[in-house]
Amino acid sequence: MSTSPRIALITGANKGLGFETARQLGTQGITVLIGSRDATRGAQAVATLTKEGITAHAIALDVTNQASITAAATDIAARFGKVDILINNAGVLDYAMDTGVETTTLETFRRVFETNLFGLIAVTQTFLPLVKKSAAGRIVNLSSILGSISEHSDPNSMIYGMRFPAYDTSKAAVNMYTAELAQTLKGTSIKVNAAHPGWVKTDMGGEQAPMEIIDGVKTSVTLATLPPEGPTGGYFHLGVHMRW
């Protein structure tokens, strides 16, 4: 039986949820690859994790740049030969520009979708051959309750009045992509799920958010380390299946 460590690639992992996800996976003995657009910040994140006894490596990776994605995949294939866990964590929400269905510009939609959806798809498609080399591949797509059409349509929902149309629709699309990818990979050892981290104290969530980062990554970490009998094709928050 192979004793090689599991390899986890996390996009947007130099800070916030991505960094804490790497930390929590790393403490389980998983080798974590810190995907980051900024090489300096990626190296700083790796240095911090290394001091904590975690095996981590910086990976230059801009999810909006196919050449960067391809180069990262080539590098990882040569150095590690596989990816056991792929966490599509990178995402953006432009509060200043994502102002409502009548005012959010097409430019803003395109910019948000470029990272939140198209970048996620590009990374997944490029790295899927490496995930298929894992004995038990796991793909986790960071979504949000704001991507739930059911929640947005329910007057009793806590998010009923929240309107960030570019971000919301990008995450709804992530949910659909997650479901379709899981169906495509049905019958394989790969599990694909979407994660709602919660409203977390990050640069995106703000200091008024009720959840700490250490708790906000629990859903992603759980889905990244699911046992063989675990679910696939779902949309989860802290073990609860969300309404699509």
What are the pLDDT digits (tens) for 146-174?
999 999 999 999 999 999 999 999 999 99
Percentage, residues of the chain above pLDDT 90: 92
Range of the domain at 198: 7-241
> Does residue 71 form part of some domain?
yes
Residue among 95, 160, 167, 177 flagged as catalytic: 167
DSSP letters along the chain, please?
---PPPEEEETT-SSHHHHHHHHHHHTTT-EEEEEESSHHHHHHHHHHHHHTT--EEEEE--TT-HHHHHHHHHHHHHHTS--SEEEE------TTT---TTTS-HHHHHHHHIIIIIIHHHHHHHHHHHHTTSSS-EEEEE--GGG-HHHHH-TTSTTTT---HHHHHHHHHHHHHHHHHHHHTTTSS-EEEEE---SBSSTTT-TT-SB-HHHHTHHHHHHHT--TTS--S-EEETTEEPP-
- For residue 2, being part of any structural domain is answered with no
152 in a structural domain: yes
Q: How high does pLDDT run on average in the chain?
A: 95
**pLDDT grade for 2, boundaries at 50, 70 and 90:** low
For the domain that residue 45 is a member of, what is the CATH number?
3.40.50.720
Tens digit of each residue's pLDDT (9 = 90 or more) over 4-62: 899 999 999 999 999 999 999 999 999 999 999 999 999 999 999 999 999 999 999 99
> Is residue 1 situated within a structural domain?
no
Answer yes or no: is 226 within a domain: yes
Number of domains forming the structure of the chain:
1
Whether 167 is catalytic = yes
Q: What are phi and psi of 239, to 5 degrees?
A: 85, -5
